[in-house]
Amino acid sequence: MKRKVAIRGFEVVAVLLTFLFIFYPANAKAQRPIKVGVIDTYAGPPATFANDALNGFKLALNEINKKGVLGTKIEFTTRDDKWKVDVGLSMAKELVMRENVDLIVGTINSSVTMAISDYMKGEKVPFIVWISKSERITGEKGHRYVFSTGENTAMAGKAGGVALAKKPYVKYWIAGDDYEYGHAIANAIWRNLKAKKPSVEKIGETWWKTGEPDLVPYLTSVMASKPDALIVCGGGATMTNSLKACKTTGIHQKIPVFMHTATDHAVLKPLGLEAAPEGVMGTMDYHFYFPETTANKAFVKAFQDAYGAPPGFPAFHGYITAHFIAEAFRKAGAVDKEKFINALEGLVIDSPAGKLEMRKCDHQAVLPMYLGVTKKVPQYNHLISGNIVTITGKDVMPSCEEIMKARGK
- The helices-and-strands tally (H runs, E runs) of the chain is 15, 14
Which residues are bridge partners to 127 per DSSP? 104, 146
Per CB under 8 A, which of residues 205..244 are in contact with another protein? 205-209, 211-214, 216-218, 220-221, 223-225, 237, 240-241, 244
Which residues are bridge partners to 175 per DSSP? 206, 232
Per CB under 8 A, which of residues 96..155 are in contact with another protein? 97-98, 110-111, 114-115, 117-119, 121, 134, 136, 141
Q: Which is nearer to another protein, 78 or 390 (CB)?
A: 78
Per CB under 8 A, which of residues 72..101 are in contact with another protein? 78-80, 82, 84-87, 89-91, 93-94, 97-98
End-to-end CA distance of the chain: 73
Per-residue binding letters, 312-351, with another protein (x by CB under 8 A): ----------------------------------------
Per CB under 8 A, which of residues 272..301 are in contact with another protein? 272, 274-275
Identified binder of another protein from the candidate list 178, 338, 350, 395, rule CB under 8 A: 178
Q: Which is nearer to another protein, 37 or 393 (CB)?
A: 37
The rounded Cα 180 to chain-centroid distance in angstroms is: 15
Cα separation of 336 and 16, whole Å? 38
Per CB under 8 A, which of residues 39..78 are in contact with another protein? 42-45, 47-48, 50-51, 78
Cα separation of 287 and 264, whole Å? 7
Query: Are the CB atoms for 254 and 232 separated by under 8 Å?
Result: no
Q: Which is nearer to another protein, 141 or 202 (CB)?
A: 141
Least distance in angstroms from the C-beta of 349 to another protein? 29
Identified binder of another protein from the candidate list 63, 73, 75, 179, rule CB under 8 A: 179
| Cis geometry, peptide bond prior to residue 291 (ω within 30 degrees of 0) | yes
Give the SS3 label for residue 286.
Answer: coil
Distances (CA, A) of 369 to 81, 145, 152, 160, 389: 29, 26, 11, 9, 8
In the chain, the amino acid numbered 99 is E
Task: By CB under 8 A, tell whether 248 contacts another protein.
Answer: yes
